[in-house]
A and B are shown apart, each in its own frame.
Chain A
């Protein structure tokens, strides 16, 4: 019976090509627009480290003076000072912990055909790599002993390795960074978490560092800091503050493997704040937060409002398309009252007619879905050509592909319900008589 309905549907749709094309176009445009924006939203609000992000936390404390403090309202700082970062790092209360910040370093290639250039860099302690699950193409990360020894070692990423060493195994080779020789110990494989959750002071999307060096070494060499810096009291000036300056400019991440560990760590942050207040370094009462990756992204409102607005608008548009389709379907079915009357008179039940008409709207939905998918691919291609910082990430994945068809089919079946029901109400006798 289903096959027969499909046959009837295609015949009926072919009979009035303009109307069918109109319906397919409407649904395809609606699906195309909403899938384009939904895909962008999906990509941007995705988990940067699936499977790991739940156990990664960003401790926040509040080392500022009393100025501007509103009890219960003021959020703690978004980064840590050098002193607090080092204290928390050395306390080793978490399963893993890393203190880091961003900067840019000058690279002088040995290869004389390349001019010196600046590359984004991350200065971090060793746990960064195992904690964030960074894969290595060649070699390995440095370890805590290297941090201690202020070792002149570096890890570089794939694109930089391609640029400098033609993509070969460069471990053991020398790299001149900011005028100082470093030994390459590892080359990072394909790793590019988006959003750039561990340091949101720079661009949130499409950001990646080419060079990683130990935090301790970066300070010896005087590598410059780049990113957010917030000072209070008499701090300020210069982009790379002194280590004792009242300025926050480092990010501190911890891995806590169980909720109990997280609760204990939170308590530790409170007692640390109390202890620092007793020492006179902090002046505010303990004001701490411990957010995991997704909570941290949410708190920072990383997904641009524009993208949400666009998605809302596109779904409004889809609604217009659906209402439009309901109207056209209704017109189409009503015109066939005579044919439906004949089928009823020949013994088809209302239910059978209803099923037949729904199959027809389903066919429109499927064709519209294919059209919508093509339009969404074209739309995403357009988005990728936009200059926005997140543009390059706009690609459709299998999940969204599936969602497109479910949405298209569901939407058009929904749109077919009312017209099909109305059309089933025909009185066979009346229709037969009038013809």
Chain B
């Protein structure tokens, strides 16, 4: 196909050409960045928790008035829950991955350092490795005799004595790698306050935080062997087969209510629910972004249809003349298709520059990562496709113009 006549024609319709290019450039910029943002959301929503998500249910309860011994109550409740048919393991925790409400500690590598090294999630509670289905990659699990009542530790901390420390703990692999790159983390000490030291006895592959906003630090977690008293902030976690979850939830709620009819079960839900609740805003945003991208494509496509139709109508005479001079239908069809391809290509080139500019702005304003180069060809392919699809109708109509039009005056 000869390009020169097409370019010559385009040069004579500069305004419309520029408008089309501008529209395609804007769409291209929006689509590249939009698709990237959606992909980021999806990746964020796909963040691993490290736990057996589909086999877990959570129950939170609170008494009307505090029980006389919260620790004894917790152990009784755990025994009650363990007795429920279908329950494979029972644990207790002060937080769950993506639970929202979090407990975090400032980690230091020496008791005297002036600034914390980083902040990491502090998981307190019973039997977490087994119940959550965590994968130990080094060291061992916490032993029952290593657990201490939380109140005892708080009292000792407040008094400033270092009695009872160091306490053993388990860390996530991400945290171990960050604190001691390429060194064996087992046996190493960290401090959470100037007097509270902890010795690493085990490493689990993955354990996400309850407030995993930032992907870079989302997997910094520690498990500390503390008995927690029964209160509204603690979660009883039950591991069961996926198909038994609803039944176990109902049975567990009933059993807890039987043990103390005045208590209130505030939450009884599957872990899947917790996860989808945590990412619901991302879900909503991704949905919104996708609808805008679709709308942009729709409007751009319809715009191309409109302008191409106008062009075809305006050039009916010329098309007729070309046909009379021997051009085949396919030649006319290809002419309009090539013209569209050229315009869209110009628009895409302009759009890439614009997309990059928007990406730079977003990086500065919202601390988003740079738009990866891989998204540019995606935007280009989508727009070429839309352009060809949109021009097909008008181009077919142009190809259908009979040669006899050339000889008619109107």
Q: Which of A291-342 contact B (CB under 8 A)?
A: 304-306, 308-310, 313-314, 316-317, 319-321, 323-324, 326-328, 330-332, 334-335
Q: Which of A373-429 contact B (CB under 8 A)?
A: 383, 386-389, 391, 418, 422
- Complex alpha-carbon distance, A408 and B237, angstroms: 54
Is there a chain B Cβ closer than 8 Å to A22's Cβ?
A: yes
Q: Which residue of B lies closest to A69 (CB)?
A: B114
Q: B299–A245 contact, CB under 8 A? A: no
Interface 1/0 per residue, B261-299 and A, CB below 8 Å: 010101000000000010011011101110010011011
Q: Specify which chain A residues have a CB less than 8 angstroms from the CB of B266 in the assembled complex.
A: 118
Is there a chain B Cβ closer than 8 Å to A112's Cβ?
A: no
Is there a chain B Cβ closer than 8 Å to A135's Cβ?
A: no
- Complex alpha-carbon distance, A435 and B410, angstroms: 8
Q: A222–B154 contact, CB under 8 A? A: no
Q: A328–B303 contact, CB under 8 A? A: yes
Is there a chain A Cβ closer than 8 Å to B338's Cβ?
A: no
**Among A22, A118, A388, A422, which residue has its beta carbon within 8 angstroms of that of B280?**
A388
Is there a chain A Cβ closer than 8 Å to B115's Cβ?
A: yes
Q: A316–B66 contact, CB under 8 A? A: no
Q: Specify which chain A residues have a CB less than 8 angstroms from the CB of B116 in the assembled complex.
A: 67-68
Q: Specify which chain A residues have a CB less than 8 angstroms from the CB of B64 in the assembled complex.
A: 106, 108, 116, 178-179
Is there a chain B Cβ closer than 8 Å to A19's Cβ?
A: yes
Q: Which of A236-295 contact B (CB under 8 A)?
A: 236-239, 242, 245
Q: Which residue of B lies closest to A221 (CB)?
A: B65
Is there a chain B Cβ closer than 8 Å to A206's Cβ?
A: no
Distance from B365 Cβ to chain A, minimum over Cβ atoms (Å): 8
Q: Specify which chain B residues have a CB less than 8 angstroms from the CB of A435 in the assembled complex.
A: 410
Most buried by A among B280, B281, B300: B281
Contacts A30-B299, A224-B231, A317-B292 known; A327 to B306 CB distance under 8 Å? yes
Q: A22–B292 contact, CB under 8 A? A: no
Is there a chain A Cβ closer than 8 Å to B136's Cβ?
A: no
Contacts A19-B306, A321-B299 known; A326 to B285 CB distance under 8 Å? no
- Complex alpha-carbon distance, A319 and B26, angstroms: 8
Q: Specify which chain A residues have a CB less than 8 angstroms from the CB of B366 in the assembled complex.
A: 305, 308-309
Q: A234–B160 contact, CB under 8 A? A: yes
- Complex alpha-carbon distance, A321 and B297, angstroms: 11
Interface 1/0 per residue, A116-129 and B, CB below 8 Å: 11100000000000
**Among A22, A29, A386, which residue has its beta carbon within 8 angstroms of that of B306?**
A22
Is there a chain A Cβ closer than 8 Å to B80's Cβ?
A: no
- Complex alpha-carbon distance, A237 and B124, angstroms: 10
Is there a chain A Cβ closer than 8 Å to B382's Cβ?
A: no
Distance from A276 Cβ to chain B, minimum over Cβ atoms (Å): 20
Is there a chain B Cβ closer than 8 Å to A66's Cβ?
A: yes
Is there a chain A Cβ closer than 8 Å to B158's Cβ?
A: yes
Is there a chain A Cβ closer than 8 Å to B6's Cβ?
A: no
Interface of B is mostly: helix
Distance from B135 Cβ to chain A, minimum over Cβ atoms (Å): 29
Q: Specify which chain B residues have a CB less than 8 angstroms from the CB of A118 in the assembled complex.
A: 62, 232, 264, 266
Q: Specify which chain B residues have a CB less than 8 angstroms from the CB of A98 in the assembled complex.
A: none
Is there a chain B Cβ closer than 8 Å to A172's Cβ?
A: no
Q: B153–A323 contact, CB under 8 A? A: no
Distance from A141 Cβ to chain B, minimum over Cβ atoms (Å): 26
Interface 1/0 per residue, B292-330 and A, CB below 8 Å: 100110111011011101110110000000000000000
Q: B264–A388 contact, CB under 8 A? A: no
Q: A310–B26 contact, CB under 8 A? A: no
Tally of contact residues, A, Cβ under 8 A: 63
Q: Specify which chain A residues have a CB less than 8 angstroms from the CB of B303 in the assembled complex.
A: 22, 26, 323-324, 327-328
Is there a chain B Cβ closer than 8 Å to A104's Cβ?
A: yes
Q: A237–B280 contact, CB under 8 A? A: no
Is there a chain B Cβ closer than 8 Å to A25's Cβ?
A: yes
**Among B62, B231, B302, which residue has its beta carbon within 8 angstroms of that of A25?**
B302
Is there a chain A Cβ closer than 8 Å to B23's Cβ?
A: yes
**Among A29, A235, A422, which residue has its beta carbon within 8 angstroms of that of B15?**
A422
Q: B154–A237 contact, CB under 8 A? A: yes
Is there a chain A Cβ closer than 8 Å to B141's Cβ?
A: no
Q: B66–A222 contact, CB under 8 A? A: yes
Distance from A7 Cβ to chain B, minimum over Cβ atoms (Å): 24
Q: Specify which chain A residues have a CB less than 8 angstroms from the CB of B196 in the assembled complex.
A: 234
Interface 1/0 per residue, B110-131 and A, CB below 8 Å: 0000111000000000000000
Q: Specify which chain A residues have a CB less than 8 angstroms from the CB of B193 in the assembled complex.
A: 233-234, 236
Contacts A25-B302, A309-B37, A319-B26 known; A236 to B154 CB distance under 8 Å? yes
Contacts A117-B264, A234-B195 known; A331 to B27 CB distance under 8 Å? no
- Complex alpha-carbon distance, A319 and B296, angstroms: 10
Q: Specify which chain A residues have a CB less than 8 angstroms from the CB of B66 in the assembled complex.
A: 222
- For the complex of A and B, the 10 pairs showing the least CB-CB separation, nearest first, are A179-B65, A331-B310, A237-B154, A387-B280, A324-B303, A327-B19, A386-B284, A106-B64, A323-B23, A306-B285
- Given contact pairs A309-B366, A320-B30, A328-B310, a sample of 4 additional A-B residue pairs in the complex whose CB atoms are under 8 Å apart: A22-B305, A306-B285, A310-B288, A387-B281
B-to-A contact residues, CB < 8 Å: 15-16, 19-20, 22-23, 26-27, 29-30, 34, 37, 62-66, 105-106, 114-116, 150-151, 153-154, 157-158, 160, 193-196, 231-233, 262, 264, 266, 277, 280-281, 283-285, 287-289, 292, 295-296, 298-300, 302-303, 305-307, 309-311, 313-314, 362, 366, 410
